[in-house]
Amino acid sequence: MKAIVYTAYGPPEVLQLKEVEKPAPGDDEVLVKTHAATVTAGDCEIRGFNLPMWLWLPVRIMMGLTRPRRTILGQELAGEIEAAGRNVQQFKAGDPVFAACFEFGAYAQYKCLPGDGPLAIKPANMSYAEAACIPTGGYNALHFLKKANIQAGQQVLINGAGGCIGVIAIQLARYFGAEVTGVDSAEKLDMLRGIGADHVIDYKQVDFTKSGKTYDVILDVIGKSPYSRSVRCLNKNGFYLLANPRFLRILRGLWTSATSSKKVIFEFASARREDLEYLRDLIEAGKIKAVIDRSYPLDQVAEAHTYMETGRKKGCVAITIEHDD
């Protein structure tokens, strides 16, 4: 089968199209014939190993000290079940699915996944490319917003709203009944309005931490706004949700949560099948849609990574995967 392989950490050019052995599913696995994947920030960070210092060594040990141990990237996919192991009861050959790949491997024509993992039947009203854009952003957005227990009428701000997490978070927060403000660059603001943001802010023109406006929940996807001013923007009993925490912010967050009515949440979100099924139901009900900025074929994944690293993408960058048959 064809796959995008990298054998050294580095720039996008380390990603090469290769012929590799097609995997075979174990008794508890399914084999997915992949039709679409995406490029996420996590894929780019691992490829170039651009990680916060406090994560660098443990992740390097896990991923491979001198060279990558897992040589195929890609954290989310959509496709159809090619075969199911004998212990798998939930899926059968031919089922259209979408999934999160915690161990990477989506940049390939086929991928084996645990039958009881974050894998679900694809939304009926989405293409494979659209469905592939949901898992990573979806389970992260859902995880953090549920932690804040958003109520109807609350004020929610999403900083870094134009990426894969922010796009889903805006739509979820609106579904929960909140009034939503999205913060990102000027070229993304029309898209944010189009998916339901009540208010938008161009971060290059307005610093939301100095505007005098306060919020019940702030979801900070990028983690670059001044911590103290961000916390001061919270109402009493407000939540500051850190989707991309730095070590110092974690320490300060612990102190804030212990000494005030405001809560700082920083966790690595985990995906479950139930999360994907919940998101699928909302998608099929017309409450959530995918946003695809650009789509690339499998042999242009390096170009897709290059574009991803410009910071200009709106929503997701999709990868389409063709098969000879």
Confidence of residue 37 (pLDDT cuts 50, 70, 90): very high
**CA-to-CA distance for 306 and 144, rounded, in angstroms?**
29
The 10s digit of each residue's pLDDT in 207-263 is 999 999 999 999 999 888 899 999 999 999 999 999 988 888 889 999 999 999 999
Indicate whether 106 and 226 sit together in one domain.
Answer: no
Give the contacts of 50 (CB within 8 A, at least 6 positions apart).
Answer: 44
> Picking from 33-42, 56-65, 233-242, 311-320, which range would have the lowest pLDDT averaged per residue?
56-65
Q: Tell me if 274 is assigned to some domain.
A: no
pLDDT for the residue numbered 292: 98
Write the CATH number for 213: 3.40.50.720
pLDDT for the residue numbered 13: 98
Mean pLDDT for the chain overall: 95
Angle between helices 164-175 and 135-147 (to 10 degrees): 50
CA atoms 295, 297, 300, 301: torsion sign: positive
Is the pLDDT at 156 greater than 90? The verdict is: yes
Write the CATH number for 311: 3.90.180.10
Indicate whether 87 and 155 sit together in one domain.
Answer: no
**CA-to-CA distance for 76 and 35, rounded, in angstroms?**
11
Q: Which residue has the tokens 């040990």?
A: 61
Q: Which residue has the tokens 């932690």?
A: 147
State how beta strands 76-84 and 29-39 pair: antiparallel
**CA-to-CA distance for 298 and 260, rounded, in angstroms?**
49
Domain limits for position 117: 2-134+290-320
Tokens of 299: 């042999």
Dihedral, CA of residue 225, residue 288, residue 267 and residue 251, to nearest 10 = 20
Q: Tell me if 273 is assigned to some domain.
A: no
Side chain identity, residue 20: V
Indicate whether 37 and 109 sit together in one domain.
Answer: yes
Indicate whether 103 and 34 sit together in one domain.
Answer: yes
**CA-to-CA distance for 218 and 256, rounded, in angstroms?**
14
pLDDT for the residue numbered 245: 81
The 10s digit of each residue's pLDDT in 100-125 is 998 899 999 999 999 999 999 999 99
Averaged pLDDT, 5-23: 97
Q: Tell me if 238 is assigned to some domain.
A: yes
**CA-to-CA distance for 34 and 282, rounded, in angstroms?**
23
Q: For residue 185, count CB atoms less than 10 angstroms from its CB and return exposed for 0-12, middle for 13-18, buried for 19 or more.
A: middle
Confidence of residue 309 (pLDDT cuts 50, 70, 90): very high
Is the pLDDT at 161 greater than 80? The verdict is: yes
pLDDT for the residue numbered 62: 85
Contact assessment for residue 321 and residue 298, using Cβ atoms and an 8 Å cutoff: yes
> Picking from 55-64, 176-185, 236-245, 307-316, which range would have the lowest pLDDT averaged per residue?
55-64
pLDDT for the residue numbered 286: 97
Q: For residue 77, count CB atoms less than 10 angstroms from its CB and return exposed for 0-12, middle for 13-18, buried for 19 or more.
A: buried
Higher pLDDT, 280 or 54: 280
Q: Long-range contact list for 244-251, CB < 8 A, 24+ apart?
A: 244/220, 246/52, 246/54, 247/52, 247/53, 247/54, 249/223
Percent of the chain topping pLDDT 70: 100
